[in-house]
Structure 1
Amino acid sequence: MDRQLFRSGKTWMAVFAILMFLLAIAGGVHSYSPVPYWDMWDGTLNFYLQITEGNSALWLAQHNEHRILLSRILFWLDYAIFDGLSYFLITINYVLMAFAIFMFWRFSKLQYRTNPDLKPEHASSVLIFSLFILAWLSQWMQWENLAWGFQSQFFLAQSLPLAAFYCLAASASNNHAWPYFCASIILGALSLFTMANGVLALPLLTVAAIFMRASWLRSGILVASTILGVALYFGEYHSPDNHASITDTLRYQPLQLLQYVVLYLGSPFFALAGEGRNGLLAAGLSGSILVLLSLLRLMIELRAYRTNPVTLALLGYLLYLGGTAVGTGTGRVVFGVAQAVSFRYTTPALMAWAALLLLYLPTLSMFARRNKKVATAGVVLICALLFWRQLPALQPQHQKIFDRQVAALALELSVADAQQINHVYVMNAGLLSIAEKATALDLTVFGQYPLQDLREKWAGRFAPPSDIPECQGALDSLETIEREPDALRISGWIFNPAEESVPSRVIVSDRLGRIVGFALTGQPRPDVEAAVHDSAGLSGFRGYIKPADPGSVLAFYGEQSQCTMNITLPGGE
């Protein structure tokens, strides 16, 4: 009966874990946009522009308080090989998430081999735990990190130290100790170039090695590596202007910092509890539990005469993630403690809970064997909650993708439409300058259809093909743009009934054949879908035309799904 229960539980957990991972991938597909977003304008696009101009010092330069060398290598590859369209970077995010899952699996196998409390009959618990971690770390709640091409450093900053602590534990538990030990130092050193919290990796590896009773030679190598790494990181370091100092936060806001830390570590439960007030309460309570359970196990291990390397390594990693929460809070608590539950912070918090579960795996395994029904019911309820909160990954993000694409259109046409451009970054002179250079060099989306060379075409002429069908559509609005006298914003919808499809781009021309504007389709229009055709759901367009007299008749030509329609501008007699 137990074997049948194990096989059934293993099968269902495997199906659940794979489904969670596939849903996370589906969320990335639904959210994908090639348009650079927020920090990417300076951190990836402008970085690549300056590197190609010979500014090699940028490789190690700070990004806020971070030195993101490893991510910058990925950014450069994205532009040099993959046209700067982010699909490579987003794929890397998923690869790094899978790497963290793999490392937790390796950790669980090492724990099973070295922990005397885990006997052969506990093998089923170890396997089910590994499958659960696959599901746990695949949660879509961390969508800001998964679906944003700039966020590889968030995964690198957690997964490389995890691998470093694993290698350190393996070096103390394996006959082939030196290769694992060297790997732990290399991974700890690489952690310096992920995010600012990577500075903690080498010092904590050193402390863990000492408690593992490493030899004087190994301890000395780790101490030297730590001193060298920290000195390298803080050479010419400067504190970001918009962040509070550590000393000021500790002196004036210690309670807010403590609250920030527990909310940060409990942030997964903010999402699982439905956000809002209940989510904050769940995050605060769960974060406090994580801290208390970690400190309890740390005190037990420090008082023990014999210590397990895997346990010490997991405690070192939990200290690393706790230090990450403290470091984040000291710089950002000035923005409010609620910022601690931002979705991008759920990645390190998810890692922390995975490490805590692995730390208590022997206890949990013994409890599960003695209380099978209770354990099964608990796992089923938790999995059901995770699956329910994973379903938003299936929601299309058409409006967000459309807004970003039209923002890129405004930048391509050099239309200073702050209302639209703010969808990708706050419009300022720096952004406009970066976009100007990228447009001239046909970089990222500015070198791809439907945006490539539109600025040059705006001054040209266009003759639509003859004998093409009439479009269905309408111009819904014609708006002036604040502080932009050279363009008007247009929006409406367009549909080709002959092909039952939506054109991808709209070219607007006057009666003399002069191109006066462009628009992009893709905006959700459920009203048009209900009234016209099931295929017209994304028929909404938005774009820009040059100022024209009221009553002017303009031709709207839809590309790819070719059709045309004439529209009279409002205001004429």
Structure 2
Amino acid sequence: MSGARRVMMSRALLYVLTFIAPLCAVLVVLTTLRAMYDAYLPLPFMDQWAVLSIQDCIDQLFDQHNEHRIVVFRLLSMLDHLVSSGTYLVNFYASLAMQGVQAVTFAALVYWAGVRGRLNVIQAGAISLGYMFWGGQWENFLYSFQTQFFAVFLAGTLAFAAIAAVRGWAGVGAASLCAALAVGSMSNGVLVCILLPPLAVWLGRPRRETAVLAGVAAGLIALYLVGYQSPDPDLTPFAALLKPLTSLRYTLAYLGQPLEELLRVQIAAVQGHRHLIAIVMGGIGVGLGVFAGAVLVARPSFATPARLVLLHVIVFIAASAALTSLGRLTFGVGQALASRYLTPSLIFWLALTFLWWSLLPDRFRILAPASAVCALVLMAGYGRQVDEVVRAMRVARDGAATALLSNVRDDEEFAKIFLDPQVVAARADLLRRQRLALFATPWAGWVGTPLVAHAALRPASACLGAFEGAQPVADNAPGTAFRVTGWAWDPARAGAPEKILLVDAAGIIVGYGLTDGLRPDIVASIPPVTRQEVGWRGHVKIDRPTQVGAFILLDDGRSACPLGGSRLLGGPA
């Protein structure tokens, strides 16, 4: 192939990549944002039950959580209580902002590393955005408690970038602040402190600045270790080191997870070989990282500040994977494929891709963005998996939410959101009294009040649906608490209503329901209904036998429409 023809083909490929990358990135971002909206429910989940108020945050601010010091999360939770009544909106917006900053930082780093040109800049921005917002990281995007996963890796990237890009003591101060945020986010933040001084030396920072930076790093590590206790006395890092091969497999699987996850949803045969594929891909990534590091050592002129930052991000993520393996060996290698670990492993591959993008000769440079855009195309097709996750989350949490709103004790549902249902029942009183989290929403205070005080009544012809069943809940006085089910459809919106109200014979609201179930039978038998997501379930709390009916909220809660099939509850069986 002639040189001119090769140049033309490379140019054409460059334009194709520049067209595809932004489209895929936008689709990835929109898919994740939609999932966050659909899954949002201001209900504490698992670890969040320990931090329900500002006082909880203050009392536990520097306390150890497993092996972490989650100071940053607790500070964000305090702000969330002040700004949004503990509804976790601050945490979610912070997560989005942090991933956005991470994407912008990487796009700037690859530009600084020498990848210039308008088309390359567009590709780099799209790749960064798509990687950082891919819905495969659903655990970190959809659970507000996971904010610190985004925080620690962003703080690490910014710490390395600050010491490389900001001159003088301002750079030392900025890097030190970012290192402190990393240590205050998760335990692997101490690795940032360990890596910063060598990076400063490699960059040729003045000795005094490097010495001060090393002193600050040592101080932060010491603060982290004050009062530290091993979460599992039987599994110390030293004991884990006795199983080096298991630790290595875990580390490589952790790093190789992104491609394994992308292939798993496209190729059924991959399902039975997940660990092997992840380990192999992790090994390839480590090999490429070691090779890139060797190039920078052997060719000092190649070791520009931006490339050194990218290399240190790669080392930070790889070391984080190894550190995680030391504390998670008892869970097996499969635990390395947890969704939350996709955040660091994606950063690992993004930094690796961008580093090689800047290092490869012009003839082969297109390979780096081409491989990243191929991955981005697969990420754009991940929407169905994200939808399934959201549906599973709603099924796990909605029952507990309607029970709490209806003041029903339902330990079976409570056990889905915390290991000890008694803790949920006891601590929910604090949320109810202070109108926090779930109880901060306007409709949470409607129970015990007339329906007509909140919504105008519409004729039954304005909606479709039925109140189909009721089952007593054993954890309450006999005949007072029930789980209820049915289906509902809003013809005006051509979709299922989100909220259901249960109303007694006097028109008083006695319970709540949420739509989260699939009902293919309804779609098959009732032509106007075109979507399966029409099943609802909820709870009712009454103090005497009464006829109970179900209403759906229409027009953004301004009106209510009755469903068919009211039932006598609390009466003779």
TM-score (norm 1): 0.83
Distance 1:227 1:429 in 2: 42
In the TM superposition, what whole-angstrom CA distance separates every residue of 1:439-493 from its partner, at most 9, and x where no partner exists?
1221111132433263x669x9999999954886544433343544442322223
Task: Judge conservation of contact 1:10–1:127 (CA < 8 Å) in 2.
Answer: yes
For 2:63 and 2:160, locate their aligned partners in 1 and report how far apart those are by CA, in whole Å.
27
Letter aligned with residue 39 of structure 1: D
| 2:328 matches 1:332 | yes
- Structure 2 match to 1:48: 54
Instruction: Give 2:205's match in structure 1, choosing from 214, 217, 235.
Output: 214
Residue range with higher mean Cα deviation, 275-284 or 217-226: 275-284
Picking from 144, 150, 175, the partner of 1:149 is 144
Q: Equivalences for 1:353-364 in 2 at 5 Å?
A: 353-364=349-360
State the distance in 2 between where 1:467 and 1:185 align: 61
The structure 2 residue matched to 1:282, chosen from 272, 277, 284, is: 277
| Alignment equivalent of 1:23, drawn from 7, 20, 31 | 31
Per the alignment, residue 4 of structure 2 pairs with: none
Aligned equivalents of 1:365, 1:343: Cα separation in 2: 35
Pick from 392, 412, 417 the counterpart of residue 424 of structure 1: 417
Cα offsets for 1:157-207 (capped at 9, x unmatched): 101110111122224xxxx44433432222122221111111111221012
In 2, distance between residues paired with 1:466 and 1:74?
41
Give 1:265 deviation, angstroms: 0.8
Name the counterpart of 2:267: none
Q: Give the corresponding residue for 2:42.
A: 34
Q: What residue identity is the alignment partner of 2:110?
A: S
Say if 2:258 is the partner of 1:265.
no
- Give 1:285 shift: 0.7
Residues of 1 paired with 2:337 and 2:534: CA distance? 36
Higher alpha-carbon deviation: 474-483 or 255-264: 474-483
Q: How much does 1:104 deviate?
A: 0.7
Aligned to 1:562: 561
Relative to 1, partners in 2 of residues 1:179 and 1:243: Cα closer, same or farther, differing over 3 Å?
farther
Structure 1's 561 and 495: CA in aligned 2 closer, same or farther, altered over 3 A?
Answer: farther
AA aligned to 2:49 is W
Moved more, 198-207 or 278-287: 278-287
Aligned mate of 2:315, from 313, 319, 324: 319
Counterpart of 2:72, as a letter, is L
Contact kept, 8 Å, 1:14 with 1:131, in 2: the verdict is: yes
Is 2:85 the partner of 1:83?
Answer: yes
Q: Mean alpha-carbon deviation: is it higher for 88-97 or for 263-272?
A: 88-97
SS at match of 1:81: helix
Take 2:26 and 2:454, find their aligned partners in 1: how far apart are those partners? 52
Secondary structure of the 1:562 match is strand
The one of 419, 431, 434 equivalent to 1:438 is 431
Partner of 2:556: none
CA contact (8 A) 2:32 2:134 kept: yes
Q: Does 1:488 align with 2:478?
A: no
The separation in 2 between residues aligned to 1:138 and 1:340, in whole angstroms, is 20
1:157–1:198: 8 Å Cα contact kept in structure 2? yes
1:298 counterpart letter in structure 2: G
Alignment map for 1:407-556 (pairs within 5 Å): 407-452=400-445, 454=447, 469=460, 473-486=465-478, 487-494=481-488, 502=497, 504-510=499-505, 513=506, 517-524=510-517, 525-532=519-526, 533-534=528-529, 539-545=534-540, 553-556=547-550
1:382-431, CA deviations, whole angstroms, 9 ceiling, x for partnerless residues? 44323223554466945643652331221234433232223332343222
Q: Does 1:185 align with 2:176?
A: yes
Corresponding residue SS for 2:444: coil
Deviations 1:363-386 (A, max 9, x none): 4453435xx6x7897566444323
Residues 494-544 of structure 1 show CA distances to partners (whole Å, capped at 9, x for unaligned) of 56889998583332425xx39694241413334334434327855533233
RMSD: 3.7
* Native 8 Å contact 2:95 2:150 kept in 1: yes
How high is the sequence identity, in percent, across the aligned residues?
A: 25
What is the distance in 2 between the residues matched to 1:83 and 1:30?
20
Q: 1:534 is paired with a residue of what secondary structure?
A: coil
Task: Kindly indicate whether residue 108 of structure 2 is the aligned counterpart of residue 106 of structure 1.
Answer: yes
Change (3 A) 1:6 1:384: closer
CA change 1:12–1:246 in 2 (3 A) is: same
More displaced, 498-507 or 536-545?
Answer: 498-507
| The 10-residue stretch of structure 1 (461-470 or 471-480) with the greater mean CA deviation from structure 2 | 461-470
Establish whether residue 297 from structure 1 lines up as the match of residue 288 from structure 2.
Answer: no
Residue in 2 that maps onto 1:115: none
Judge conservation of contact 1:488–1:545 (CA < 8 Å) in 2: yes
What's the CA shift for 1:273?
1.6
TM superposition shift of 1:245: 1.5
Aligned counterparts of 1:259 and 1:468: Cα–Cα separation in 2: 63
Structure 2 counterparts to residues 350-389 of structure 1, below 5 A = 350-364=346-360, 366-368=362-364, 381-389=374-382
- The separation in 2 between residues aligned to 1:384 and 1:465, in whole angstroms, is 47
What's the secondary structure of 2:521's corresponding residue?
Answer: helix
Q: Which runs of 5+ in 2 are unaligned?
A: 1-7, 265-269, 554-558
Contact 1:266 1:283 in 2 (8 A): yes
On the 8 A contact 2:460/2:563 being kept in 1, the answer is yes
Q: Contact 1:110 / 1:170 at 8 angstroms: preserved in 2?
A: no
Q: Mind listing any 5+ residue stretches in structure 1 that lack a counterpart?
A: 113-117
Residues of 1 paired with 2:107 and 2:457: CA distance? 63
> Does the 8 Å contact 1:502/1:538 carry over to 2?
no
Say which SS state the counterpart of residue 95 (structure 1) adopts. Answer: helix
Contact 1:494 1:503 in 2 (8 A): no
Contact 2:73–2:148 under 8 Å retained in 1: yes
Distance 1:463 1:89 in 2: 30
Deviations 1:113-149 (A, max 9, x none): xxxxx7x7x7755653443232222211111111222
Per the TM alignment, residue 299 of structure 1 is displaced from its structure 2 partner at its CA by 4.0
Q: CA deviation at 1:348?
A: 0.4
**Alpha-carbon deviation of 1:286?**
0.8
